[in-house]
Amino acid sequence: MTGCEAIRELSQSYLDGALAPEECERLERHLRGCPACRRVMATYRLLYSALAAPAIPTAPPWLVTATLARVRGAARRRRVLQALVMAAALFVVVSSVSFLAWGGLLEAIPTSADVAASVASWRAAVDAASGLAGSLTCAAGDLAGSVGAGGSAAAVLAVALAAQLILAYRWRRLASLEGSHSIGGPQ
């Protein structure tokens, strides 16, 4: 950067009110002896005063109301989403507890044919519940992005993960039960 270019940068900082006193002195000294930089300084002054009066239209008065209406709509949608997610979480919890409680009944079924049929229907149910728990995990992620929903998201995520663990356990139990009957297990 040449001397005059550096002075132009100082000139702008001076007009911004961001120049240290010693730099001000340096600028003034240079301007006293350099007509070209004095001219540039004068045009900067004109430019700054023009920039301070921009031709930007004012925002219409209804914009605040419209903005708030849009935010209100988003808040309503978020509350509905939260309610849905919480309902789904409750459903998953109830389903998981039911799977655990009824597990013993399944294992008490006497014949291999009965076990095969029961295992197939249980497997479909576990699959469906696992899908629901997976969706719940994703919903918790989305919810975490919403304002004021951090706690709810963490709760939903914890429920969904617990449900997934329980369902995975049930899946293994079903598989082992099916295996033991297919190789001539208890009748």
Partner 1 sequence: MIEQKGDAVECPDPCTELVRAARAGDEAAFARIVGEHQRAVFAIAYRMTYDAAAAEDLTQEVFLRVWRKLDTFRLGEPLKPWLLRIATRVCINALKKRRPAPMATVGDEETEPLEVPSTQPDVSETVAQAEAAAHLERAIAELPDDYRLIVTLRHVEELSYEEIAAALELPLGTVKVRLFRARERLRRLLAPILGDQR
Residues that bind partner 1 (CB under 8 A): 8-9, 12-13, 16-18, 36, 39-40, 42-44, 46-48, 50-60, 63-64, 66-68, 70-72, 74-75, 145-148, 150
Cβ neighbours of residue 1 closer than 8 Å, sequence gap 6 or more: 9
If the CB atoms of residues 32 and 39 are measured against partner 1, the closer one turns out to be 39
Q: Which amino acid is at 21?
A: P
Alpha-carbon distances, residue 61 vs 55, 74, 86, 88, 123 (angstroms): 18, 22, 39, 42, 60
Q: Which amino acid is at 177?
A: L
If the CB atoms of residues 115 and 140 are measured against partner 1, the closer one turns out to be 140
> Nearest distance from residue 115's CB to partner 1, in Å?
51
| Alpha carbon of residue 47 to chain centroid | 43
Ranges of H-type helices in 108-186: 112-144, 150-182
If the CB atoms of residues 74 and 165 are measured against partner 1, the closer one turns out to be 74
- 89: closest CA among 128, 52, 140? 140
> Nearest distance from residue 64's CB to partner 1, in Å?
5
The Cβ of residue 153 has, within 10 Å, a number of other Cβ atoms equal to 19
If the CB atoms of residues 44 and 171 are measured against partner 1, the closer one turns out to be 44
Q: Which amino acid is at 23?
A: E
> Nearest distance from residue 56's CB to partner 1, in Å?
5
- 132: closest CA among 95, 100, 79, 99? 95
If the CB atoms of residues 131 and 150 are measured against partner 1, the closer one turns out to be 150
> Nearest distance from residue 144's CB to partner 1, in Å?
10
> Nearest distance from residue 11's CB to partner 1, in Å?
10
> Nearest distance from residue 6's CB to partner 1, in Å?
10
Q: Using CA atoms, how far apart are residues 116 and 163, in angstroms rounded to an integer? A: 25
| Alpha carbon of residue 170 to chain centroid | 32
If the CB atoms of residues 12 and 137 are measured against partner 1, the closer one turns out to be 12
